[in-house]
A and B are shown apart, each in its own frame.
Chain A
Amino acid sequence: MKRKWVMSGTAVMLMLSVVLGCAKGAGTDKPNEQTSKPASNSAAVDNKDNKKPFEGVTLKAALVGGGSYEKLYESIPKFEQETGAKVQITYKGNFFDLDKKLKIDFASKSDDYDVISNHSSFYSQYVDSLEPLNNLFSADDMKDFTPMILNGGKRDNNLYMIPRLADISVYFYRTDLYNDESNKTKFKQDYGYDLAPPTTLDQFKDQAIFFTKNGKGINGTQFAGKEEALTGRFYELVNAYGGDFFDKDKKVILNQEAGIKAATMLQDLYKAGAMPKGMVNFLWDEVAKNFGNGNVAVYSEWPGWYTWMDDPASTKVAGKFDVVRAPAGPSGVHPGWSGAHGFSVTKSSKNKPAAAALIKFLTSADNMYADSKLGNMPTRQSVWDKVLSDAKASGDARKINFYNVLNTALKEDFRTPPLIKEWIPLSNILYPYLQKIILGSTTPKQGLDDAAKDIEKMMKQSGN
């Protein structure tokens, strides 16, 4: 009898170990790509006297992929060679998907990566799970970074994100349409002033409606119409109309006069057919492609799209567009919803100095200069100066204008959204109301009042 029990027990244990072994194997995160290559052909690897600083350290990273990021990641083997550390990118996705993953991983304490991609709009949500970088980065490390952009990654005097690139929108407009003589004459007749790239939001609205009526099937303008993309655009318009989302006491004021005027402008443009009917389903890719296909006259866009837009193999508008600073609102403020992409170290990281070294490498002047060639706006002053002097040396008038406009926008209009952890929850409450307003399902006042009520409730629940 005893033998039977022993044998049965052994069989159960065997099966258990197989099942648990399978489960463990299934749950193991496999690096999908960019697995590090050992530093080959390096005599230093085997030389104990000349040991590299992070020999034997493996850094895991959850990062944004695609676009100019892929070029940056191609430089990682150089970091591995120099430091001896290995880098495994265990997750790649766009910012919205990465944000969802990070929230879940941090909440369940299952984050097992050292470095993450971060954004000034997102990082406030997870500061509790991020390592303050004050002790990992010296004043010397940070002196080259533009202070205004660096501050976008600070909370309570703690720095949580090192910016890789800055983002501020400028208005792209079609030079062929604006320089067309018949358009100029007709516009002057209809509106009483010369057709030129808009300097005020009123002019922008006039021109958007004008081109819709006279542009042979094109839409005057467009905005990204959902998620934080819409909330951010609305935020900068509210600023331009002289308002804000919160007052000094953190009371929601987006439903006041400025908010209503901004929402009314969006509703009027949609109602007049000056924006595509499907714009409420547009995100960044869709608006860029729509302009690239020649369907839009003037709109707000991120500078990172400039290079792609100017490539004749990619778009129909290559060489036929230019940029202008975002037109000012009645308050004199220019829309300037801005942000910065960057990198952070997680609190759970077991290799924080190595993680900081990787971030220093990714945001080095060399890498940033290479990024700028792809249209990204550098966050280091030295690189920015180099980019401007390169543009001047090229003698290309459009290029010079592009960088000058960016420089002005960056210096004068850079404004991050409120640096609160509730920004994305706020956006998720607000944007469906904005969609209702744009589509005409509700009035600007009613829609914003309802949104403000829900946002107040969420803020209270959050302990504000």
Chain B
Amino acid sequence: MKAEASLADRQYVLKESVFDSLRASKWLFAVVFVAPALIFLTLVVVIPMLYSFYLSFTNFNLVLKINKEFVGLDNYVALLSDSTFLLSLLRTIVFMTLAVNLELLLGLLVAQLLAKPMKGEGFLRTALMVPMMMPPILIGFQFKWFFNDQVGLVNNLIYAVTGQTTQIPWLIDAVLGFISILTAEIWMGTPFIAIILLAGMLSLPKEPFEAADIDGATRFQKFYYITRPLLAPYMLIALAIRSLDISKAYDLVKIMTGGGPAQRTELIWTYVTRLSMVDSKFALGCAMSFVSVAISFVFTVYIYKQLVAARR
């Protein structure tokens, strides 16, 4: 018994001495613990990113027998004259703007409804989470079937209600295809915003509302002058996260239309993939990725500034 205790003491003393030695130099202590993460990040993020940045200034192609030559800003200049890229960029911005705003409106509505105590609220809140549990690929397949022109639910519903037998080409027409993908994106993203806003609403102080009731404020006035400003930081956080998510939209589009037909529903990341992996224009794809990331970065900084302003 005594021997065991003595062994444990020795181990404890040894551990103590190792940590004491490390603590003796704070700088070294920090380095030792941060180093693995830094090395890992450098290997899997920083180096590949720097290398792809370098590639964006070359004419590297996966298939064609071209030597990897430095071509300066040629790829970036080529992007400016690539109408498909410019259209994809514009389409992505419009897509993001519409999706985020509609998700915010719907999310606000759902959060308002769920904020009131009611029967079955636990079930409703869980049900709200369902789209968040589903992977985007599955949602893509689901909506692809909904909007299929021959056997899709939507066309069959229209046929059942109106007797109209014309197949509406939901995933073929440029505008209808855009609307179809937008619908899927909104269905997928609204619950996330609703949950964040619901959490925000439940944490709001009661006093301002009670004071407003005494002053005889209407429901709209209470929402506009109290709920909205108090909820603003939550809204901005939800907006920032969803905007970045949507600016990276790929899975849904890839599954539903593949960016086609005739590149009618191409968004920026489906076009990047097409250029890099399918057309083998890897260098051009890298350049396009960096332009897209730069735009996302500017957008994030803007949202962050708004967030800081809202918290003042």
Which A residues contact B (CB, under 8 angstroms)?
Answer: 3-4, 7-8, 11-12, 15-16, 18-19, 23, 100, 103-104, 107, 125-126, 128, 217, 225-226, 276-278, 280-281, 290, 295, 421-422, 424-425, 428-429, 432-433, 435-436, 439, 441, 458, 461-463
Contacts and interface: CB of A to CB of B under 8 A. Distances in A.
Given A107-B282, A276-B149, A432-B261, 20 more contacts: A4-B25, A8-B21, A8-B25, A11-B18, A15-B35, A103-B63, A125-B63, A277-B169, A278-B150, A421-B63, A421-B65, A422-B63, A422-B64, A428-B279, A435-B261, A461-B61, A461-B64, A461-B66, A463-B64, A463-B65
A7 B21 contact: yes
Contact of A463 (B21, B31, B66, B274): B66
A428 B277 CA distance: 11
Given A8-B21, A11-B32, A280-B260, A439 B66 contact: no
Contacts of A458: 64
A100 B274 CA distance: 11
B257 interface: yes
Interface of B is mostly: loop
A462 B66 contact: yes
14 contacts: A7-B21, A8-B22, A15-B36, A100-B278, A107-B63, A217-B165, A278-B169, A278-B171, A281-B172, A281-B258, A421-B64, A424-B63, A432-B263, A463-B65
Given A7-B18, A421-B63, A432-B262, A104 B277 contact: yes
A278 B155 CA distance: 13
A425 B169 contact: no
- State the 6 A-B residue pairs at the shortest beta-carbon distance, nearest first: A280-B261, A435-B262, A462-B64, A277-B169, A436-B262, A435-B261
Contact of A281 (B22, B167, B171): B171
A217 B40 CA distance: 60
B269 to A, nearest CB: 16
A424 B167 CA distance: 33
A428 B24 contact: no
A118 to B, nearest CB: 15
Contacts of B172: 277-278, 280-281, 439
Interface in B3-33: 18, 21-22, 24-25, 28, 31-32
Interface string B131-170: 0000000000000000011100000000000000101010
Contacts of B66: 461-463
A463 B59 CA distance: 13
Given A277-B169, A463-B66, A18 B150 contact: no
B280 interface: yes
Contacts of A463: 64-66
B39 interface: yes
Contacts of B257: 281
A16 B32 CA distance: 10
Contact of A277 (B28, B31, B167): B167
B35 A103 contact: no
Interface of A is mostly: helix
Given A7-B22, A19-B36, A432-B260, A278 B65 contact: no
- With most chain A CB atoms within 10 A of its CB, the pick from B18, B21, B66 is B21
- With most chain A CB atoms within 10 A of its CB, the pick from B25, B63, B167, B280 is B63
A341 B65 CA distance: 24
A226 B265 CA distance: 14
A103 B65 CA distance: 12
B42 to A, nearest CB: 11
Contacts of A439: 172, 261-262
B18 A277 contact: no
A435 B24 CA distance: 70
B62 interface: yes
Interface string B37-67: 0011001100000000000000101111110
A277 B280 CA distance: 30
A441 B280 CA distance: 26
Contacts of A7: 18, 21-22
A100 B278 CA distance: 7
B200 to A, nearest CB: 39
Contact of B32 (A8, A280, A425): A8
A343 to B, nearest CB: 20
B150 A16 contact: no
- With most chain B CB atoms within 10 A of its CB, the pick from A12, A278, A425 is A278
Interface string B250-263: 00000001101111
B150 A441 contact: no
A295 B150 contact: yes
Contacts of A435: 260-262
Contacts of B44: 23
Contacts of A100: 277-278
B21 A4 contact: yes
Nearest to A458: B64
Contacts of A18: 36
Contacts of B24: 4
Nearest to A226: B260
B204 to A, nearest CB: 45
Nearest to B31: A12
A425 B36 contact: no
Given A4-B21, A100-B278, A278 B63 contact: no
Nearest to A273: B167
A226 B257 CA distance: 11
B164 to A, nearest CB: 14
Interface string B97-129: 000000000000000000000000000000000
Contacts of B32: 8, 11-12, 15
Contacts of A429: 279
Contacts of A19: 36, 39-40
Contacts of B148: 278
Interface string B169-207: 101100000000000000000000000000000000000
B257 to A, nearest CB: 7
A16 B35 contact: yes
A281 B24 CA distance: 66
Contacts of A104: 62, 277
Nearest to B37: A19
Nearest to A3: B21
Contacts of B31: 12
